[in-house]
Amino acid sequence: MSMNIKVLGPGCPKCKTLERAIREVVEENGFDAQIEKIEDIVKIMNYGILATPAMAINEKVVASGRVLSKEEIKNFILKHLNG
């Protein structure tokens, strides 16, 4: 089952860093995931986050306000996969 991962952020350097790290984790681990970058501030606000960058898996925000390590990203994905 494919998951949808969204990177929420206006395009700042931290947002780009988080997006790159997510793409690397997905590729390195062979996760079946679609990665989408959301830069529209109105759409970002609809997720109810106060700080970017943020990461959402299947529309659920799992982290916001900081760049996650690759290990943290992997753990969020695995936690989601295991229900």
- CA 70 from centroid of its chain's CA atoms: 11
Query: What radius of gyration do the chain's Cα atoms show?
Result: 12
- Which residue range(s) make up the domain with 22? 3-81
User: Does pTM top 0.75 for this prediction?
Assistant: yes
Instruction: Tell me: pLDDT of 72 over 90.
Output: yes
Confidence of residue 83 (pLDDT cuts 50, 70, 90): confident
Q: What CATH number is associated with residue 47?
A: 3.40.30.10
Q: pLDDT tens across 2-58, in order?
A: 899 999 999 999 999 999 999 999 999 999 999 999 999 999 999 999 999 999 999
Do 29 and 46 contact (CB within 8 A), yes or no? no
Query: DSSP readout, 5-40?
Result: EEEESSS-HHHHHHHHHHHHHHHHHT--EEEEEE--
Q: pLDDT tens across 51-68, in order?
A: 999 999 999 999 999 999
Active site residues per annotation:
12, 15
- Give the number of domains in the chain: 1
Tell me the one-letter amino acid at 10: P
Report which of 53, 67, 61 is spatially closest to residue 11, judged by C-alpha positions.
53
